[in-house]
Amino acid sequence: MKTKITLLLAALFIGLNIGFAQQDEECMTKLSIFHEYVKAKNYDAAFQPWMDVRNKCPKFNNAIYIDGEKILMDKIEKATGADKATLLNDLIKLWAERGEHFPDKTPKGEYGAQTGQLMYDNKAILNKSSEDLYTVFDNAYQEDKATFTNPQSLYTYFSLMVDLYDAGKKPAEDLFNKYDDIVEKVEDEVKNYSESLNVLIEKETAGTELTSKESQYKAYYESYLAAYDQIEAGIDEKMGTRANCDILIPLYEKNFEANKENAVWLQRAAGKMSEKECTDDPLFFKLVNAFHEISPSANSAYYLGILKDKEGRSSEAIAFYKQAIDLETDSFKKSNLNNRIALKLKSRGSYSQARNFFREALRLNPSNGRPYLSIAAMYAASANDCGDTNFNKRAVYWLAADEAQKAARVDSKLSGAAANSAANYLSKAPSKSEIFSAGNSGTVIKIGCWIGASVTVPKM
C-alpha cells in the first residue's frame, strides 16, 4: 500500500511539472507574439495574447506590465465614456498587479504618484473627488517619499491640498506644513540633479569635451531641473496670499508654547515668516531665538543675521551670516545660503559684499546661473556711479552683458531670460559709431568704485 501511494504521488508530481512546463511554453510563445506586436505598435493585435499571459502567468515576466501599459494607453487614447473609464481602471489595476508580482521593480512612491496623476487627469470620467485624489497621493508620499519624485505629481499633490484648504476641509497649519514638506522635497531633488550636472559643467569649463553619453545625461539633468524650477514657481503661485502675515502671525503665536522646543516647527515657522516679510513682528524675534537656543544651525544663524539687519547693525548681521555659512556642511545648501545672503545685501545696496557671496554661491553650485544675473543687475544699476566719462559709464553695460551671457551658458533653464538681459545691456553700451568717434577700439577701460574691473572695448 505504501509503495502504491509513493508511486501515485510521483505520478502527480511529474504530471504537475509537465503542466507547468506546458504553461510556461505557452506563455513564452504568447509573450513573444505580443511583444513583437508592441514593438511594431500594433497594439490591437497584441491585446489578446497579452491578456492570455497576464491572466495565466502573472509572474512570468515583467514585460507583461511594461508592454501592457503601452497596450492599455493606446486603447485609452481611442476610447470615450464608460469604455474609457473601464480601461483607466484596468491600467490602475495593472500597476497594482505589477507591484504585487514584481515589487522590486515597482517603487511604491513612483507608481502611487503615477496612479494619482492618472486619476487626477481623468477625475471627471472616474468620478474622483479632491479628497479621494489627495488620499492616493498622500498615501504614496508617506509610504515611499524617496521615489515620489515626479515634478508634475508633486505640484498636483500640493495643489489638491490648497483646494481642500480653500474648501474648508484642511486647516491652515496642514497647508503650511505640506507646503514646507513639498518645497523641501523639491530642493532635495534639485540638489541631486544639480550635483550630477555640476560634474559635467566643470568638465566643460576645464575645456574637456563631453562624450555622447555625457551630453545625453546633461540634457536629462537640465530638463528635470527646468521642470522643478517651473513647479517650484507654480507651488509659490498656488500658495499665493494664503500665507500672509495676517494669517501666519496669529497661527504661530497660538502654537508657539506647544512647539517652543520643536526645532523643525521653529525652523519652518521662522522660515515662512522670513519668506513672507513678516520679520518686523516681535514673534519672529521670539521664534529665531528659541530656534537658535535649542538647535544652533546655519538656518538659525541666518535668521539672527536678518534680525541684526533689521536693527541696522550691519557688521553684526554679516558676522551671523558668516557663522551660518560656517555651520552649513552641505555644499549645495551652502551655495543656496550664500545666494540668499547675497540677495539680502544686494537689496540694501551693499553690492561689493553681495558680489562676494554670489561668487561663492557660483563656486559651490556652478550650474545655477541666477547669481550671474544678480551680479549683472548690480553692475547695470551702478553704471552712472562707476565711470568718469559718459562713455566709460556706459561701458559698464559690457560687464553686465558678460555676466548675463555666463548665466545663459551654464544654466539652460535661464538661457532665454539671460540672453534677453544680455541683449538689453548691450543695447545700452556704446554703439559702433560711438566707439569709432572715441577712437578707442580694442582698448582696455578700468572701471572704478566697488566694481573694480576692466573691460575691453570691442574691436571695430
Whether 373 and 402 have beta carbons less than 8 Å apart is answered as: no
**Largest CA-CA distance found in the chain, in angstroms, rounded:** 118
pLDDT at res. 10: 38
pLDDT at res. 401: 96
Phi/psi at 459 (5° precision): -75, 140
| Cα distance between residue 224 and residue 375, in whole Å | 26
Whether 245 and 277 have beta carbons less than 8 Å apart is answered as: yes
pLDDT at res. 240: 87
DSSP state at residue 262? -
pLDDT at res. 457: 86
pLDDT at res. 437: 84
Three cell numbers at 418? 539671460
Whether 426 and 401 have beta carbons less than 8 Å apart is answered as: yes
Whether 411 and 367 have beta carbons less than 8 Å apart is answered as: yes
Which residues make beta-bridge pairs with 446? 454
The sign one gets for the Cα dihedral 168, 169, 174, 175 is: negative
Q: Which helix (H) or strand (E) holds 444?
A: strand 444-447
| Cα distance between residue 359 and residue 335, in whole Å | 9
Strand ranges for 248-389 from DSSP E: none
**Per-block average pLDDT, block size 10, for the chain (460 residues)?**
40 36 78 96 96 95 96 96 96 98 97 98 96 97 96 97 96 93 94 94 91 94 94 92 91 93 92 90 93 91 91 91 94 96 93 96 96 97 89 92 95 92 94 84 90 88
Q: pTM score, two decimals?
A: 0.84
Q: How far is CA 207 from CA 79, 201, 374, 416, in A?
A: 53, 10, 26, 24
Q: Which helix (H) or strand (E) holds 457?
A: none
pLDDT at res. 23: 58
pLDDT at res. 6: 41
